[in-house]
Amino acid sequence: DAKTTQPNSMESNEEEPVHLPCNHSTISGTDYIHWYRQLPSQGPEYVIHGLTSNVNNRMASLAIAEDRKSSTLILHRATLRDAAVYYCIPIQGGSEKLVFGKGTKLTVNP
Amino acid sequence: GAVVSQHPSWVICKSGTSVKIECRSLDFQATTMFWYRQFPKQSLMLMATSNEGSKATYEQGVEKDKFLINHASLTLSTLTVTSAHPEDSSFYICSARDMRGAGGANYEQYFGPGTRLTVT
């Protein structure tokens, strides 16, 4: 499994954009990059995933570096409900297992 | 979106007893479900992969005789913690993927709300 490095914590203000970085320099060519988040006392929630191209959905955008050694999850306008631990998880193409690291705890200030 | 439920949401049991936790996919079918454990202020740890109609695959260090997994149908997997002890107290979470989706890593997983187990 590719190793990931994420900041332990980040802070943002409500209604401002948030850029959550993830370094995955050991990623292989067939690894998908997944992002999940976990609100307190809840199960994780899928956010977004991609392989090479940048991806957008209703929750967030995923910007993947050209060399794929890093990616950035972008929340365009943070809300208080976005306060959670965000996990960046590379998954091998043929695998189905999610291996969670420590993630980034995002605090959103009103 | 797809929904995964867990029952019970919390349970307290006495040391030495067994506890069963159910994980259901409510609006999709899942050939594969996953079980995780999470201790306070720690990340999720994958315990096992539950396969419908076959034996579960356990991660290294997880006792298969202590954590019994049964995946009897395409919508239900159960985790039984046998002879529970206080150190088994944890937050247990399951996840599943829709079997209609693309295989491998190009899919999203849906997580249950978790079951908090306290062993006294």
A11 bridge partner residues: A107
B61's torsion region: left (phi>0), alpha (psi -120 to 50) or beta? left
| Sign of the CA dihedral running B36, B63, A2, A10 | positive
Residue B103 — very low, low, confident or very high, per pLDDT cuts 50/70/90? low
Contact A87, A33 (CB under 8 A): no
Partner B contacted by A21 (CB < 8 A): no
Contact B60, B4 (CB under 8 A): no
Question: For residues B108 and A22, what is the distance between their CA atoms, to the nearest angstrom?
Answer: 19
**A36 contact residues in B (CB cutoff 8 A):** 109, 111
pLDDT of residue B72 exceeding 90, the answer is no
Please answer yes or no on whether B97 and A96 come within 8 Å at the CB atom. Answer: yes
Task: Report the pLDDT value the prediction gives residue B102, as an integer from 0 to 100.
Answer: 61
Task: Report the pLDDT value the prediction gives residue B117, as an integer from 0 to 100.
Answer: 98
pLDDT digits (tens, 9 = 90+) for A30-65: 889 999 999 999 999 999 999 998 999 999 999 999
Residues in Cβ contact with B104 at an 8 Å cutoff, skipping those fewer than 6 apart? A93, A94, A95, A96
Mean per-residue pLDDT for B59-88? 95
| Secondary structure (3-state) at A45 | strand
Q: What is the nearest CA distance from B27 to chain A, expressed in angstroms?
A: 17
Question: For residues A47 and B119, what is the distance between their CA atoms, to the nearest angstrom?
Answer: 33
Pairing of the two strands B115-119 and B10-13: parallel
Q: What string of DSSP letters covers A58-71?
A: SS-EEEE-TTSSEE
Chain centroid offset of residue B118 CA:
16
Task: Report the pLDDT value the prediction gives residue B3, as an integer from 0 to 100.
Answer: 93
Please answer yes or no on whether B105 and A93 come within 8 Å at the CB atom. Answer: yes
